[in-house]
Amino acid sequence: MIDLLLVIAAAIFGIGVYGALSQQSFVMIMMGLELMLNAAVLVVVTFWWGTTGGNPSGQLLVIVILAVMAIEAAIGFALVTAVYRSRKADITEKLKKLRN
């Protein structure tokens, strides 16, 4: 069971890596990051359930990951808004172009 869960988590994580690297728009990159965190949640709960005898720290770690997701999303959206406001850009290339 643990093997199966870890393979699934690895697959979700792989998709997240692909998304975060390949996407051009900020929000889509954030989606890749969220997918990676999703995999992390699954891994943590898997170990909590199967290997640590239900150590509550595992649960706490999940909550912390959730908080990280919320913070990442809030700051991410705020940044997207601020960048769009000042540069009218929603994809990363446009920012690079501007730097030159």
Nearest-approach distance from CB 54 to other proteins, in angstroms: 3
Between the CA atoms of 95, 71, 12 and 80, what dihedral angle is there, to the nearest 10 degrees? -20
67-96 residues in contact with other proteins (CB under 8 A) are 67, 69-71, 73-75, 77-82, 84-94
Q: Quick one: which of 33, 39, 48 has its CA closest to 6?
A: 39
8-27 residues in contact with other proteins (CB under 8 A) are 8-19, 21-27
**Per-position x/- string for 26-65, each x denoting binding to other proteins as judged by CB under 8 A, each - no binding:** xxx-xxx-xx--x--xx--xxxxxxxxxx-xx-xx-xxx-
State CA 70 to chain mean position distance: 10
Distance CA 24, CA 19 (A): 9
Distance CA 100, CA 59 (A): 46
Q: How big is the site for other proteins, counted in residues (CB under 8 A)? A: 79
Nearest-approach distance from CB 59 to other proteins, in angstroms: 4
Nearest-approach distance from CB 96 to other proteins, in angstroms: 10
